[in-house]
């Protein structure tokens, strides 16, 4: 039986404040970096010291954490001295450049970029799915693509119950997936539209307000864009199923925050919608939102700000006796990035806490 994760007090992670980790956040002023700070505070995660690292243009800015002001410092190799956990959220280039220095300084790197996800030596982890893979890290852990993270949380309990043979998924991806500037571009275009002004764009290749378009990443030779190929490759790695059949279509939509996904599963055996609801209602990281009478199902506006992935619209695939269809919404900045990263840090602390308790 799947059991929901409970909130754990810091004392269950660390014996006392002296054992709280020293934290660094790379890309601290970006959308994900700011969310990591909020989640650390929201979870009351114990922090002995905090370093906020960013590019030169952000150096000197002040950010408040737990009521205290912290100055943003320059991102450089020597900044990682004494750091225990380094959250990286500054893009693949910066991760490749500075992750080795952080590891050399003794820090465990939790990386939100695509730099190391498909490295066979680097665990790619969603804690609800494959927390056991953290046992094999060598100072570097990858956070999955946001769409893959939301998808994995939603379908893993179904896979445990009935086995997944094939996934067909269409994503409806919010502007938040492209960062704070993309969110601002959507807001600006909506205001300009309402004011009768000409809409301008600089982040997205197409107008995002009142429009949708294929995900703005390069289309590969196989006909799938980079985002779609990430979903395929990363799901296979996290599920330890290298030949799992996955057909993704990734679409950018005019939503500020939280991605949604329409999912059709082909299962190894039949699973009724009622049984699926019971399984998902108990699964960690999931909030069941499936009220057919009120026509109330997952929506990004309700998933925004929630640590859980909202799952609903659960029904049979009428074309396949072993098919199941569902709709999900998950906060891209949280479960798709910041919360998953902090959750990994919480998981890393568990063995230490158990060892302390046994002493």
Catalytic amino acids? Answer: 146, 259
CB 290 within 8 A of CB 313: yes
Among residues 308, 316, 313, the alpha carbon closest in space to that of 297 is found at 313
Among residues 86, 72, 78, the alpha carbon closest in space to that of 25 is found at 86
User: Phi and psi for 62 in degrees, rounded to 5?
Assistant: -110, 130
Chain center to CA of 256: 16
Chain center to CA of 314: 23
CB environment 202-212: b (16+ within 10 A), e (fewer): ebbeebbbeee
Q: How many CA atoms lie within 13 A of 169 on its CB side?
A: 31
Chain center to CA of 263: 18
Q: How buried is residue 10: exposed, middle or buried, by Cβ count under 10 Å (0-12/13-18/19+)?
A: middle
């Amino acid at each position: 039986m799947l059991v929901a994760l409970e909130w754990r007090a810091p004392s269950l992670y660390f014996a006392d404040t002296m054992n709280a980790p020293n934290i660094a956040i790379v890309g601290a002023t970006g959308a994900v970096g700011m969310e990591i700070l909020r989640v650390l505070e929201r979870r009351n995660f114990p922090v002995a010291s905090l370093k906020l690292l960013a590019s030169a243009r952000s150096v000197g800015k002040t950010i408040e954490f737990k009521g205290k002001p912290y100055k943003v410092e320059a991102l450089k190799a020597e900044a990682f001295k004494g750091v225990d956990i380094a959250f990286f959220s500054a893009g693949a280039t910066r991760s490749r450049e500075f992750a080795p220095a952080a590891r050399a300084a003794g820090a465990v790197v939790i990386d939100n970029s695509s730099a190391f996800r498909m490295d066979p030596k680097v665990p790619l982890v969603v804690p609800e799915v494959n927390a056991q893979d953290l046992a094999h890290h060598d100072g570097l852990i990858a956070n999955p693509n946001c769409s893959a993270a939301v998808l994995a949380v939603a379908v893993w309990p179904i896979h445990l119950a009935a086995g997944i043979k094939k996934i067909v998924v269409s994503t409806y991806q919010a502007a938040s997936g492209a960062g704070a500037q993309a969110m601002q571009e959507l807001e600006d275009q909506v205001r300009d539209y309402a004011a009768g002004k000409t809409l301008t764009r600089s982040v997205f290749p197409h107008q995002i307000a009142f429009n949708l378009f294929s995900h703005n990443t390069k289309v590969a030779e196989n006909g799938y864009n980079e985002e779609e190929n990430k979903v395929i490759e990363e799901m296979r790695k996290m599920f330890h199923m290298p030949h799992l059949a996955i057909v993704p279509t990734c679409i950018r939509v005019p939503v500020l925050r939280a991605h949604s996904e329409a999912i059709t599963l082909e299962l190894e055996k039949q699973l009724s919608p009622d049984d699926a609801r019971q399984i998902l209602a108990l699964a960690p990281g999931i909030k069941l939102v499936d009220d057919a009478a009120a026509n109330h199902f997952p929506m990004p506006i309700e998933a925004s700000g929630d640590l859980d992935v909202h799952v609903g619209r659960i029904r049979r695939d009428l074309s396949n006796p072993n098919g199941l269809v569902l709709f999900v919404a998950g906060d891209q900045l949280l479960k798709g990035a910041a919360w998953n990263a902090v959750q990994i840090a919480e998981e890393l602390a568990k063995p230490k806490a158990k060892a302390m308790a046994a002493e």
